[in-house]
Each structure stands twice: as structure tokens, then as C-alpha cells.
A and B are shown apart, each in its own frame.
Chain A
Amino acid sequence: MNQHGEPSHHVDSVRTYVGVLIALLIATIVTALVATLDLGPFNIIVALGIACVKMMLVVLFFMHVRYSTLLTRLVMIGGLMWLAILLLLSFVDFGTRGWIGVPGK
């Protein structure tokens, strides 16, 4: 319907979506099982790592960011960056509270 002959309509195959779904379900089971192993400090890293992989699968395939414009990607990355600013700069405080004794405390 537009002059450029539909560049933005990418119809993925059902097989792709089923594959992504299976990967997501397996990742869920894996993350639940890994949590029962003692990996020390790596438990949280693995849990969040798997969650990030799942996020990427959903974002790239289900939310079509694979085909999206640069602007859409920037918007998404910008949002995550601002979340990082909130967390990191807060930790400049919470992470250094114990470094120096507070008088009277």
C-alpha cells in the first residue's frame, strides 16, 4: 500500500516462534534447577544471565526488534541505560556507606 512495497512487514515463520517458545520454556526449567545447586556468588549471576537471555529472545523475536528501526532500538537501550543510572548512582551511596565511620554511630 505504500510506495516502498512493505519493507516493514516481516512475517516470521511459525517454526521460528515455536523454536523461541521452546527455548524460553527450557531456560525457565534450567534456571529453576540451577538455583538448587550451590554456585556461591554465581547463583545470582547465572539467574540474571538466564533472565537476560530470555529477555533478548522476547525482545528480538516476539517484539520484532530484529526488524525494527534504529530509533526503536535507541529508545529501548535508552530506557535500560536510565535504569542503570538509577541503580548505579544509588549504589555509589549504598555501596560506600561502610567505608568511613559516622561519628556517633
Chain B
Amino acid sequence: MATAAITAERETYLNSAYGLKSWLLTKDHKRIAVLYFITISIFFAIGGTFAGLIRLELLTPEGDLVSSETYNKLFTMHGVIMVFFFLIPSIPATLGNFFLPMMIGARDLAFPRINLLSWYLLIAGGAFAIFAMVAGGVDTGWTFYTPYSTSYSTTYVIATALGIFIAGFSSILTGLNFVVTVHRMRAPGMTWFRLPLFVWSHYATSLIQVLGTPVIAVTLFLVLCERLFHLGIFDPALGGDPVLFQHLFWFYSHPAVYIMVLPGMAVISEIVSTFSRKPVYGYAFVAFSSMAIAVIGFLVWGHHLFVSGQSLYAGLVFSFLSYFVAIPSAVKVFNWTATLYRGSISYDTPMLYAFGFIGLFTIGGLTGLFVASLGMDVHVTDTYFVIAHFHYVMVGGTIMAYLGGVHYWWPKMTGRMYPEGFAKLSALVIFIGFNLTFFPQFILGYLGMPRRYHEYSQEFQLLHVLSSAGASVLAVGYIMPAIYFLWSLRYGPVAGANPWGASGLEWRTPSPPPTHNFDRIPVVTFDAYDYSTVIPTEVNDVGH
């Protein structure tokens, strides 16, 4: 009882000010993270709805639910929303925004106003994209390949591309803010090699955002000019080269895969350590593997152009280089596994998600090697094999990690625990639903089912039905956390400062944290994942 009373009186970032204005004009990184949570949840729901319609259409071999034009718009808008408005901002802008400053012992990011600006940019970009969808949609695929996007498509390419262009600046500013924050805002004693691996991974992610995103920005700018003024830069009729567009596009969009998955790895490192109660095995290797992924990720984009008319020699070089990305990714997987060895493992919900991530990311990563090899890719390119591959990485990897991270830090962000039983059940439902949805797609692709078709031959129906059934299970799995998280805000048990017995600085301040994160800026005298100084707090079931 006493704990609850104190919690109610203490000033936190949530009760320091009230009213819509105090949220929309906030400069507090924690409140901005909450704004992002709400925003990307809405985008996830929109993108998920498009996915649901796609799976519904594919229940039967005939194109009976929607026309082929509508189907083209559905998969385009699913991709655009999920990639640019959900996955890219997902973990960095929410969990990263909230916890990166706390983990390094800072009061805020280096540039709080720029942080708020980047949220508004995401909203503005999203507004353009949603306008395009409401007005009639866009059908180019999320990749905007020229000359279809510049000369032939009659849909809302300009509004969508403008939306992505603006959202790109949001991503750049978040990355810039993180880079400067990690360099300049660390607490006394927080040296680079005491940083939690979450911070290392986010630092690497930020470098990719800063170095890659401007290229897609200028590429979309050229596409806009070309579409408005018929310039010819990507138009083969005038001597332009559509493959140049693909180079520019994938120079960003391959590294963008790591913008999406590196923050997931960041979350997994924290969870695996906490629930094994051991430091992450080979800390320095894991830290540098993040940096290696960021660098090598920029050298491999040509593997998306194997069948696009790129020179064969370039194909060889890019195929060869692509294999190198597997090394740092494997280092991470091996080191997480080694961390479990002889750890005192507890199977709380975040840990279940972490196990899910490690297994599914491994499958996604290994099938990535299939499509990175030139000879194999010629056969499976543009089939469901590729779809399954990147959904194993993006959904099985990033979204698993995102959900694991939200469960893990929920008590810190809200001061309340979610119901553990429901959470475990939903983690299981998501895992089963995910595999049922996407594993059949590997087989479909291997058998030759091409992507982006809304009609298909009879023999594929069984696998498509399995996949659609899995999608409905997955949808149930995603709706469950939405319900019990909202429930827990009011009725969840009060969490205390450190319910997991975790070691990071963010757990050494009350939950929810005060406005400036710490009552006193900590002086760091211990390494990351040092459990000898940790005192876990009890969860008090008196929350009402």
C-alpha cells in the first residue's frame, strides 16, 4: 500500500504536465517516444489491414475478391506503410528514443527540439502517403521501379514518393540525434566499452540512417522531377538508364534492412543477458559486429539487380560481397546462444520473444544466403521464396524483437506489469501464426509461384490457404497484446524500479522515470551487464 501511495505522489514524465498541448509540444524524449508508439501502432494497423486483404484474395486461385489493379495497389501500400512508416521508425524511434539517453546516463538527447521535429516530419510524410491511399492508391510496388513509376503508372506516385521523402528526413534527424548523443552525452564513467549493446547497435543503425537515407531522398527527388517534367534521366526512350535508378534505390534500401533489424538485435542482446543473468558472451565481438554490419551492409546492394540487366561481373562481385554480411550476423547469433550456456535462465515473455527472434532470424538469414548466390537467385528471384525470406527477417526478426522489447520495458515506461499468462499465450500464438503464414511461402516460391500475382494455378491453393489461415492466427496474436497492454495501464500490478533484476542504468531509476530520467546523474563505475550490483524490486499487486 505504501508503495502505491508514493508512486502516485512522485513526479514522473507522465504526470509532470497534463493536456494535449503538453504532449504535442514536449521536448522530453520519453514523451516523444510515446507519441511515436501511438503513431507507428496506427501505421501497423493500416499496413496489417492491407496484408489481411492480400491474404484474403489469395485464398482462391481465381482473382475474385479484388481486381488486378486493386491488388497491385494493395501490395504496394502494404509495403510502403510497413517499410517506411512502421519498420524504419519502429524500434529506434520508440524504444531507442526512450532508452538510449537513459542507458548512457543522460537527461535527454542532444537535440530535443530536433527530436520533436522528426516526429512531426513522420506525421507529415504519413499524411501524404495516407492522402495518396485515400485518393486512389499507388500501384508501383514499394520499390518505385522506373520507367513504370515515372512514365506509365496513372496512380498517386507523386504524393506517395513525397511522403517517403519527408519521412526520410525524420529518419535522418533521429539518426543524427543519436550519433551526437552517444558521442557527447554519456554520463561520467560511461566509456564506450561500458555501453550496453543496445546503444552500440543503435549507434550503428544511426550511421546507416545518416549515410544511406539522403541517397533515397535525392533518388525520389529525381523520380518526382522526371514524372512532373518528363526529363529522361531514367527513361530508356531518351537514353536514360532504369538500372541507375535501381542502383540508387538499393544503395539505401539494402542498408535499410539493417536499419530495421539492427535495433532488433539491440533489444535481443539486452533481453538475453537479463533473463540469463549473465553478461553477453564476447561483448566486444557483439559490439563490433554491429559496426561491421553497418559497413558491409553498404557494399552489397547489387544483389537486388542480378536479373535487372546489371553487368554479370558486377553480379559476381556483389554476390561475393553479400556473403560477408553473414559473418557478423552469425557472430551475434552464436554469442547470444553462448550467453545462455550455464545461465540462470527465466522464461518470462520477453525471453520467449527473444528465442523466437533467434530462431526465425536464423532461418531468415540463412535463406538470405540462398538468394545472395547468383545461380540460385536467378531461379527464385521474384517468387514467394524471396517474400518468405524477408518476412522471416522483418516480421520474424524485427517485429518479434519489437514486441519482446515492449514487454521487457513496459514496466519501466508505465510503472505497471502486463499480465504474464496472457502475454506468454500471445507470444505462442504469434510464433505459431507467423510460421504457418510464412513457411508455406518458402515452398510456394521454390515451386515457382511468382510474387505480386493475384491469380495462380490450382496446385498452389493448399499452401496459399495454409498461409492465409496462419495470417488470421497472427492477427489474433497481434491484437491480444494491444488489449492487455491497455488493460495493464490501469489494472496492472505496480512494477517497481527493477522487476527483472536487470543491470542497465535505466533500471536504476524509478518507474516510470522522472522528467530528467535520474534524480542525480549517475557516475558509472561498473561494466555493462554487471549483475553483482543489482537489487531486483518486488512487483506489488496493489495497483488501483
Contacts and interface: CB of A to CB of B under 8 A. Distances in A.
B312 A86 contact: no
Nearest to B305: A93
Given A71-B183, A100-B312, A89 B302 contact: yes
B270 to A, nearest CB: 27
B313 interface: yes
Contacts of B311: 92-97, 99-100
Contact of A99 (B299, B301, B313): B313
Contacts of A36: none
Interface in A47-105: 71, 78-79, 82, 85-86, 89-90, 92-97, 99-100, 102
A85 B299 contact: yes
Most chain A CB inside 10 Å of its own CB: which residue of B244, B312, B314: B314
A92 B247 contact: no
A71 B183 CA distance: 10
A94 B251 CA distance: 15
B299 A96 contact: no
Contacts of B314: 92-93, 96
A99 to B, nearest CB: 6
Majority SS of interface residues in chain B?
helix
B299 A92 contact: no
Contacts of B305: 93
B71 to A, nearest CB: 31
A92 B298 contact: no
A93 B247 contact: yes
A82 B310 contact: no
Contacts of A94: 311
Contacts of B114: none
Contacts of B476: none
A76 to B, nearest CB: 13
Interface in B234-265: 243-244, 247, 251
A99 B312 CA distance: 9
Contacts of A78: 211
Contacts, number: 44
A93 B298 CA distance: 15
B338 interface: no
A13 to B, nearest CB: 31
Contacts of A92: 302, 311, 313-314, 317-318
A20 B301 CA distance: 41
Given A71-B183, A86-B215, A86-B251, A93 B299 contact: no
A90 B247 contact: yes
A105 to B, nearest CB: 9
A49 B211 CA distance: 25
Interface in B295-352: 298-299, 301-302, 305, 309-314, 317-318
Interface in A7-47: none
Contacts of A82: 211, 298
A20 B290 CA distance: 42
A71 B301 CA distance: 28
A96 B118 CA distance: 41
B211 A93 contact: no
A100 B313 CA distance: 9
A100 B314 CA distance: 12
Given A71-B183, A90-B247, A93-B243, A85 B313 contact: no
A85 B302 contact: no
B247 A85 contact: no
Question: Which residue, A78, A82, A85, A95, has most C-beta atoms of chain B within 10 A?
Answer: A82
A102 to B, nearest CB: 8
A1 to B, nearest CB: 18
A97 B244 CA distance: 13
Residue picked from B247, B309, B311, B312, most chain A C-beta under 10 Å? B311
A93 B314 CA distance: 5
Contacts of B183: 71
Contacts of B299: 85, 89
Contacts of A102: 309
B426 to A, nearest CB: 41
* A85, A89, A90, A100 interface centre (most CB from chain B within 10 Å): A89
A94 B299 CA distance: 16
Nearest to B241: A94
A94 B183 CA distance: 38
A26 B252 CA distance: 39
Nearest to B207: A78
B310 A93 contact: yes
Contacts of A79: 211
A62 B59 CA distance: 65
A71 B302 CA distance: 31
A18 B449 CA distance: 69
A93 B302 contact: yes
B291 to A, nearest CB: 12
Nearest to B246: A93
Interface string B266-307: 000000000000000000000000000000001101100100
With most chain B CB atoms within 10 A of its CB, the pick from A82, A92, A93, A94 is A93
Contacts of B251: 86, 90
Contacts of A96: 311-314
Contacts of A95: 311
A78 B243 CA distance: 26
A104 B3 CA distance: 78
A92 B300 CA distance: 12
Contacts of A86: 215, 251
A58 to B, nearest CB: 21
Closest 7 CB pairs of A and B: A93-B314, A96-B313, A96-B311, A92-B314, A97-B311, A82-B211, A93-B311
19 contacts: A71-B183, A79-B211, A82-B211, A82-B298, A86-B251, A89-B301, A89-B318, A90-B244, A92-B302, A92-B311, A92-B313, A94-B311, A96-B312, A99-B311, A99-B312, A99-B313, A100-B311, A100-B312, A100-B313
